[in-house]
Amino acid sequence: MISPGIQMLEVAIGIKDSLMAAGFTSLDSLLRSNPTDIAAILGIELYVAKLIIDAAKQASGRESKADAESNTIVADLD
């Protein structure tokens, strides 16, 4: 079963399952990790790990103003 915190991530269900299997049971556990470690633990590319961290920041409300503005700009370009 996926924890409520991990469930809030806007990532694929398979990634959520992999995070839980690797012991990431909360958003805080993700936010205390760095993308390099997450990539190595899950066997994924570094950029995917960075996306996971960004999703955890957004889900926890810890997304910085600069990150939010950057995401808005990217969305506007689409």
68: domain CATH number is 1.10.150.20
Is the separation of the CB atoms in 6 and 19 below 8 Å? yes
Contacts of 46 (CB under 8 A, 6+ apart): 35, 36, 39
- The boundaries of the domain holding residue 26 are 4-77
Give how many domains the chain has, as a whole number. 1
Each residue's pLDDT tens digit, 21-67: 999 999 999 999 999 999 999 999 999 999 999 999 999 887 654 45
pTM for this structure?
A: 0.74
- Confidence band of 75 (pLDDT split at 50, 70, 90): very low
